[in-house]
Chains A and B, each alone.
Chain A
């Protein structure tokens, strides 16, 4: 490092000047006789001029430093003061010079030399002091400055006074004719030594700190030392050496002056210019468009980047107003923003759009900062073009999305070669990234789709640029998987496809779940056979297929005979096993293309396709009947009497829709059941029509019920011993709008098996109660009996229905005044439950009668179980009792039975006087029939009772 600096040191101007000075001094010293040149005549004025210049220079140095004292360090200030003192002493020296007018004391060489030496010593010491002091940059306080100044003046004054006052006490320095004394020469050498030391120290400091100032001062010290050498060897004060010494002194002063001017005057300007230049460079090399805007929105200054950003020249841009290039904000918005920043003293950062000179818009991010320059407020605005950032942001984002997407992404070129895939795609397909790049996606084909599937795909891709479907592919490990795939064509500016993007997700699991759901939804859990839902589907297919093939389709509805009995006696488990076994047998009997479905319970449906004739169907069904009838072994039980009833309808002879076909088969099965079970029955259109007619009749009954077409007629029951009317039986009549009055026999059998019986039965119950209460109010207190349908009695809520009717219509019903008649056959069907119903109703005060007695399996055992109050002997026995002894003996038996159980016995169908007498003879007193009274409307009962009270009793006849 040192080496590098040395040339610099010698190449520099002060070094060169010092070298030149040294060279000239050497020449002067070695040219013989030069010291003898005596420029006597001009010496004094010359000396005066020279010294005056040096005084001025010294003063100037002081003035320069003193005037910028606020920025100066202590050592600099000390140096300045040194020069001031030197100037003062030099001035005294000038005035004291031999030949000059008297200055307090007469001027002399000795006197001038005294001042000279003092000045030189002061200068040398000042320089050395400066050279030795650290370059402490700390400035000096104003007080110190004043103190220093006063010190300097005092020093100079004292020095001058002392040199004037004590001149005779000072050593002799010059002896005219002899020259300089050793003291003077010694003193000069001391000054030289001090100056040389200063020069060395300054130079050393320069080498360390590179202050040009130090270098110049070093040169000044050096030249000063040279000057002093001349002063050691002059002979007369007017010789050339003396003069040269003075010249060198001025040269040294000039060097010092130069040092200080460089340091104090030039350097700050240079620094300022440099800084301005540096700032400009920084601004101009900045990427952001930095500009200065005043509070009116006018652009004051802008850097190169901003001008280039907007496409203006540097001059043009300084003519613009913000609203000239701001595109997103209106001028009023701009001024509002500026005003806001000014008031809130804040900065702003926002994105906006700027308009270039050529009209193009650029996305920019603007940072605005309020600043003050010389008391005026400005905005420093940095505009950054973010178009690239936006583009690269979205590109980076796209890349991330591609990588992290949870769907498989695959891009091909137009030749179908894969150009990129994402990690999810690798995961789904099981291939590594590099294994797929460059390959065709057909690598993943599963072989599960026909060729036209892919042809379709390409057709829509070429036509619409889009295709989407579920597709089955094959993983690297050979496993099949399902994916939801959509392919989109990516097009270039000219709308030509350049890539295809496939987006797919693995839906295998969902597919499996769907399959399972389909299994659950479409198959019966117990037997594994298709259920109703799948059957509908299969039926549609079968119809289409047989239509196409011109074959016959048999739709068969099958039901196990007496399945309920098996379930009840052997348990549901056995029942379930039986159903499974039946299902299995049916499947083995049918072809794969046929369908066996279970609809629930013990109902099965079979679809037998491709039949050529009805005969073929019959044979198949016979086989089925035969197979089903063979014995079953279920949990240790062997069942050998299982049979089924099958209803069949044949398509296309029965050219109905699928639902109707099933219904027809169901109807036919119903017929098969009727026909005695273990058989099949072919559907017959007229069978359907009859069923429809029946349904229609039922609908009319229902309508008649709401329309009030039903009416109760009442037939008295009379104790023929005393003509006491003990009760009336309510009998329903249908006042049919067309057919007139219909008797119960004509329509009741139709609805016995229908829920309509419940509604009609309840109507009868309520109507009879209503009438009974009316009669009770009139004073007619008869026991009213109604007929209940077996279906009503089977309902467990029947007692509640009765209770409700009583509560609604006859709350104060006296016990035993209302009776329900049950047919013997109905009672037999569900003995236990009917007995419970009877018990419950008895608590409500209801009495019971056993109707049609003798027609069933009248036996003691069940009569004992049923708690009834009355037995009614069926009219069929009564009608023929006079001619048929068998009937008579039955009647006798029944009467005896009634007595044995202490029941009232009522004979029905009593038509003649002969009947009455005969029955009375046999001990049956209570009778009912045309022979006594026909059933009559309610309003006729009162008159009849009145009339009947006059009727003579039969026993007395």
Chain B
């Protein structure tokens, strides 16, 4: 219970360059920061359930946006390995959140810290690596499309 996680500071490194993804990332970061601060103050299981519920809902919404873009630009076809990894990380996120919640329901405090560690870690690594890859791919596609049009 001594570990205290600093809130994630939004910075340029987190930007993917795809507006809709970046907007949603900001909210996701906010949500995790909020969960962080709340969980440090309060151990109420109900609050935690609420946070996980919101987080999950938003995650599904966000993952859907990203995976929709993947389909749109044929990420699976052109960068199959990256696409598979990306989707796997999305599933892991949900599973992990649920696992921690279930653990917390059982009254296991350690799971909460794990969750926070996981959330922070996952989010930063996912946004800074996996999503950057996707972002670059989409930007490239969009640029080709606009130049193609302008010609």
Contact = CB atoms under 8 A, between A and B. Distances in A.
Contact of A694 (B58, B68, B90): B58
A435 interface: no
Given A676-B42, A739-B63, A745-B98, A693 B106 contact: no
A746 B56 contact: yes
A749 interface: yes
A739 to B, nearest CB: 6
B68 A738 contact: yes
A694 B54 contact: yes
Contacts of B30: 686
A674 interface: yes
A693 B53 contact: no
A750 B27 contact: no
B24 to A, nearest CB: 8
A271 to B, nearest CB: 124
A741 to B, nearest CB: 10
A696 B31 CA distance: 17
Contact of A697 (B44, B60, B106): B60
Contacts of A696: 61
Interface string B86-101: 0100110010001000
B74 interface: no
A154 interface: no
A513 to B, nearest CB: 51
B67 A739 contact: yes
Given A686-B26, A739-B64, A693 B47 contact: no
B50 A674 contact: yes
Given A739-B67, A746-B98, A693 B105 contact: no
Interface in A819-866: 855
B56 A690 contact: no
B53 A749 contact: yes
Contacts of B23: 689
A746 B68 CA distance: 18
B110 interface: no
A266 to B, nearest CB: 132
B2 to A, nearest CB: 24
Given A738-B68, A749-B52, A876 B27 contact: no
A749 B56 contact: yes
Interface residues of A, number: 23
A453 interface: no
Interface in A672-728: 674-676, 686, 689-690, 693-694, 696-697, 700
B105 A876 contact: yes
A475 B147 CA distance: 81
B58 A738 contact: no
A676 B48 CA distance: 12
A855 B26 CA distance: 35
Contacts of A674: 47, 50
A742 B59 CA distance: 13
A745 B49 CA distance: 12
Nearest to A876: B106
B62 A693 contact: yes
A257 B124 CA distance: 161
B58 A690 contact: yes
B80 interface: no
Contact of B27 (A686, A745, A746, A855): A686
Contacts of B68: 738
Given A686-B26, A749-B52, A749-B56, A697 B67 contact: no
B60 A746 contact: yes
Contacts of B24: 693
B31 A690 contact: yes
Nearest to A747: B60
Contacts of A693: 24, 27, 57-58, 61-62
A694 B87 CA distance: 21
A746 B94 contact: yes
Given A689-B27, A690-B27, A738 B52 contact: no
B4 interface: no
B8 interface: no
Contacts of A675: 38
A679 to B, nearest CB: 13
A749 B101 CA distance: 11
B151 to A, nearest CB: 32
B102 interface: yes
B71 interface: yes
A760 B22 CA distance: 33
B65 to A, nearest CB: 9
Interface string B69-93: 0010000000000000001001100
A876 B57 CA distance: 24
A739 B90 contact: yes
Interface string A477-501: 0000000000000000000000000
A742 B24 CA distance: 21
Contacts of B44: 676
Interface in A561-603: none
A747 B60 CA distance: 8
Nearest to A750: B57
Contacts of B67: 738-739
A686 B50 CA distance: 16
Interface string A734-754: 001011101001110110000
Interface in A739-795: 739-740, 742, 745-747, 749-750
A675 B35 CA distance: 11
A689 B106 CA distance: 31
Contacts of A700: 64
A876 B60 contact: no
A476 B26 CA distance: 72
A906 B90 CA distance: 33
A745 B57 CA distance: 11
A686 B10 CA distance: 14
A738 B64 contact: yes
Contact of A738 (B71, B91, B94, B103): B71
Interface in B12-54: 23-24, 26-27, 30-31, 38, 42, 44, 47, 49-50, 52-54
A689 B50 CA distance: 16
A749 to B, nearest CB: 5
A686 B58 CA distance: 11
A934 to B, nearest CB: 15
Nearest to B68: A738
A739 B95 CA distance: 13
B34 to A, nearest CB: 9
A700 B62 CA distance: 13
A696 B20 CA distance: 15
Nearest to B90: A739
Contacts of B47: 674, 676
B60 A690 contact: no
Contacts of A855: 105-106
A676 B26 CA distance: 25
Question: Which of B47, B71, B102, B103 counts the most A-chain CB atoms under 10 A from its CB?
Answer: B102
Contacts of B26: 686
A956 to B, nearest CB: 34
Question: Which of A694, A700, A740, A747 counts the most B-chain CB atoms under 10 A from its CB?
Answer: A694
Contacts of B62: 693
A746 B87 CA distance: 15
20 contacts: A675-B38, A676-B44, A686-B27, A689-B23, A689-B27, A690-B31, A696-B61, A697-B60, A736-B64, A738-B64, A738-B67, A742-B60, A745-B98, A746-B60, A746-B94, A747-B56, A750-B53, A855-B106, A876-B103, A876-B105
Interface of A: 674-676, 686, 689-690, 693-694, 696-697, 700, 736, 738-740, 742, 745-747, 749-750, 855, 876
Given A693-B58, A746-B56, A876-B106, 15 more contacts: A676-B42, A686-B31, A689-B27, A690-B27, A690-B57, A690-B58, A693-B27, A693-B61, A694-B61, A697-B57, A697-B60, A742-B60, A746-B94, A746-B98, A749-B53
**Top 8 A-B pairs ranked by shortest CB distance?**
A693-B61, A694-B57, A738-B67, A876-B106, A745-B98, A749-B53, A750-B57, A686-B30
